[in-house]
Amino acid sequence: MEIYCQNHPNFNYEECKALYDKCKRQIGSEDDFNEVLQDTHFYSFYEDGKFIGCIYFYLIDGKIYVNAFAGRHTHAINLDCFKKSLTFYNCDIYAKSIRKTAILCLLRCGFKKIGKNLYKYER
Region class of 112: left (phi > 0), else alpha (psi between -120 and 50), else beta: beta
Q: How far apart are CA 4 and CA 96, in angstroms?
A: 24
What does the pLDDT read at residue 39?
A: 92
Q: How far apart are CA 34 and CA 37, in angstroms?
A: 5
φ, ψ at 10 (rounded to 5°): -90, 0
Rg over alpha carbons for the chain, rounded to the nearest Å, is: 13
Q: What angle do CA 83, 38, 86 make, to 5 degrees?
A: 10
3-state secondary structure of 40: coil
- Is the separation of the CB atoms in 121 and 91 below 8 Å? no
- pLDDT tens track for 46-64: 988 889 999 999 999 999 9
- pLDDT tens track for 54-95: 999 999 999 999 999 887 777 778 888 889 999 999 999 999
The conformation of residue 46, written as its DSSP 8-state character, comes to: E
Which secondary-structure segment (H or E) carries 52?
strand 50-60
Model confidence at 120, pLDDT cuts 50, 70, 90, reads: very high
What does the pLDDT read at residue 12?
A: 95
